[in-house]
Amino acid sequence: LEDPSVNKLNEMTADLLGKEEAIYLPSGLMANQISFAVHCRSGDEIMMDRTAHPIHYEGGAVAVISGASIKPLNGINGVFNAEQLVNAVRTKDYHDPQSRLVSVEQTSNLGGGVVWPLETIKEVCHTAKELGLYTHMDGARLLNAVIATGISAAEYASTFDSVWIDLSKGLGAPVGSVLAGSSQFINKARYWKQRLGGAMRQAGIIAAGGIYALENNIERLKDDNDNARYLAEAIEKYPQIELDLSTVQTNIIIFQTKGITANELYKRMLEKGVRLTPMGENLMRAVTHLDVNRKDIEYVIQVFDDILGEY
């Protein structure tokens, strides 16, 4: 509570997200898990899209830390609607787990970086409140959505009880995430941060990287979004690539491969210094970020052409 850089980063993030307070954490995963632990008791149920990060990439932490269970919803590209939420909510019958929280991922990672429309967010959160649920935004890439749409981060965050942003992805800082909410929420989050070993001594040196990122690297997310679009449009024409351009709204491209497995394409690209992420037999992800400029993208397109042209 005494480090001036950490305090400044927290204040800047709380302002950016329109919340009373914020808390610097070592990772985005911890921001999700602390939020779940504050909102839920063990045995409660959290609703989120079936593609959501806590289901696939958090080592089963929900079961370990809050002891809640997850009900996956069947959204489109990671985005579900208020009607699906209503249908998923449990009854108060004692046989049922108790629905406690709904979580929204902005942008949707496995949805291909698709932006949750503000209207959908408002409807889902309004419905959640009517149903007596807490609301959480996993905003790992919220600022990519902000830059893509011109809608402010505070506007996107306004209907959520808790929301966080990642500093170490597109924003390019070395370490951390910042979780925001009401003072009451953040006070409870502080206990969990300590409990999980997330309290860091002399953290100012890394928090300063976060301050730098918020001051200098938000506007430039436009380059990442534009580069992803440019790359997607260039590779979409290959018969071996099946790509829905309408999903390429920010800095992620997810596509299907045909006639070549994702793993084979991954290996061939890596030999030329281009790293993609195979996510299944025929599913591939490409992500743009501040270490990749337009010239690099031209090179990536050339490598795609060299490899896929052979087939």
Ligand X SMILES: *Cc1c(COP(=O)(O)O)cnc(C)c1O
For residues 114 and 131, give the distance between their C-alpha atoms in angstroms, rounded to a whole number.
26
- Looking at beta carbons only, is 109 or 240 nearer to ligand X? 109
Between 27 and 98, whose beta carbon lies closer to ligand X? Answer: 27
31-50 positions binding ligand X, by CB under 6 A: 32
How many other C-beta atoms are found inside a 10 Å radius of the C-beta of residue 166?
A: 22
Q: Judged by CB under 6 A, which of 12, 18, 27, 123 binds ligand X? A: 27
Among 35, 77, 109, 144, binds ligand X (CB under 6 A): 109
**Any contact of residue 177 with ligand X (CB under 6 A)?**
yes
Nearer to ligand X, 116 or 304 (CB): 116
Q: Of 161, 166, 223, 224, which lies in the binding site for ligand X, with binding defined by CB under 6 A?
A: 166
Cβ-based neighbours of 161, under 8 Å, separated by 6 or more: 39, 134, 135, 136, 181, 182, 185
Instruction: Take residue 281 and report the two structure tokens written for it.
Output: 């037999």
Nearer to ligand X, 3 or 58 (CB): 58
Q: Which is nearer to ligand X, 147 or 260 (CB)?
A: 147
Separation between Cα atoms, residue 122 and residue 156, nearest integer Å: 9
Which residue has its beta carbon closest to ligand X? 28
Nearer to ligand X, 28 or 204 (CB): 28
Q: Give the x-and-dash track for 115-154 against ligand X (CB under 6 A).
A: -----------------------x-x--------------
CA torsion through residues 119, 122, 125, 130, sign: negative
Q: Minimum distance between the CB of residue 107 and ligand X, rounded to whole angstroms?
A: 8
Minimum Å distance from CB 148 to ligand X?
Answer: 16
User: Binder to ligand X among 19, 28, 128, 249 (CB under 6 A)?
Assistant: 28
Q: Residues in the site for ligand X, rule: CB under 6 A?
A: 27-29, 32, 53, 105, 109, 138, 140, 166, 168, 177
